[in-house]
Structure 1
């Protein structure tokens, strides 16, 4: 059973990667701008003073301008730093463009690194995803970092995944460790999903 689910996920991830690769720079820029506005509104509506986000890679829906704006508005933004043991450390974002290459070639912050529990104090988590289904089940890219983080938090804040509109699916293959999200932010909408996880 588990092998079937893994195979289905692998095939779906490959398809989603391919779709993202086909987007033009202009489409990516427009999506990043719209997503940034929606994230600004989400942060404001929740009154979040401290958030976690991530530095988007080229093919991902863009979050970098949003992060810079949030920092300049005085919001504390924690950015993930991958560790070899499967956990995430966190670094406080600043408004410069210093970025290092992380373990998997993904962009990571260069500031002072805090331990995994630093994220316990945020009011909102903004996470990457490959896709999310209508029940809120999130599928990442297969390394499990965010599932581990969300699953281990004693008091998890609202978690919103950032994806493109075409990545909202009716259902997703699911494994025991997969963690749902509370909402989705796309270039055209912010969807709040009812969750019973907490």
Structure 2
């Protein structure tokens, strides 16, 4: 996973636009193959770690894993929590019990029907998989711009400090989206690991010597 050096000295908006344009311009067959490989990497990881519950999301459009990730998670046998977007950049969570348990939001995202739970439910997960636009070589995540996951991960960090239960936070991107430099602000938190079509890479050694 060699970092892409073409986006150095860009601001966050420029990096996001460059990444999203690259996603749109990918050959569909190549993009689908990468998404399938990412799904295989994730399900292999869950099996190796004997995971029983994860928080994830349903990728759409040109996102890594679109069309295959959610079904792959279901096939792996783990319990799956999916996010529901609320006003003011808030996420709540509900369980995925199959396609019939989900509804399509105004944003075109698949979301669980009620009941929903707050961020504290994430402390019961083995892994939390997060979308990202890009990632630095040190694991600093550049989100999609809405701040939903920035707020959630900050809240989760506070809950973890209080409760001691720490799920592994994993960003999901294409390999080319690990870039040499990501603009960083005080609220930006590094993830523990990244999964791409090239494999899983850990940044935080406290989660295991992998």
Q: TM-score, normalised by structure 1?
A: 0.87
1:184 matched to 2:194: yes
Is it true that 1:174 corresponds to 2:184 in the alignment?
yes
Which position in structure 2 is the counterpart of 1:121?
124
Rounded to whole Å, the distance in 1 between the matches of 2:189 and 2:152 is: 9
> What do the CA deviations read for 1:39-81 (whole angstroms, capped 9, x no partner)?
0111122221000011001110015533223334431100111
Number of matched pairs: 190
CA pair 73-163 structure 1, distance change in 2 beyond 3 A: closer
Measure how far apart 1:28 and its partner are. 2.1
Paired position in structure 2 for 1:194: 204
SS in 1 for 2:84: strand
**How far apart are residue 12 of structure 1 and its match?**
0.9
> Could you list the runs of 5+ residues in structure 2 that have no partner in the other structure?
1-9, 161-165
Distance 1:136 1:21, change over 3 A: same
Task: Give the one of 145, 148, 158 matched to 1:145.
Answer: 148
Q: Which has the higher contact order (CA 8 A, sep 6+)?
A: 2
Q: Deviations over 1:127-155 (max 9, x none)?
A: 10000111110000111111111111122
Q: Distance in 2 between matches of 1:174 and 1:161?
A: 16
Q: Normalization by structure 2: what TM-score?
A: 0.82
1:164 is matched with which residue? 174
Q: How does 1:4-153 map to 2 (within 5 A)?
A: 8-62=11-65, 64-96=67-99, 100-103=103-106, 105-116=107-118, 117-153=120-156
CA RMSD, Structure 1 to Structure 2 (Å):
2.1
Give the match's secondary structure for 1:142: coil
Distance 1:97-1:56 versus aligned 2 partners, 3 A rule: farther
SS at match of 1:184: strand
Instruction: Provide the C-alpha distance between the structure 1 equivalents of 2:101 and 2:129, rounded to a whole number of angstroms.
Output: 20
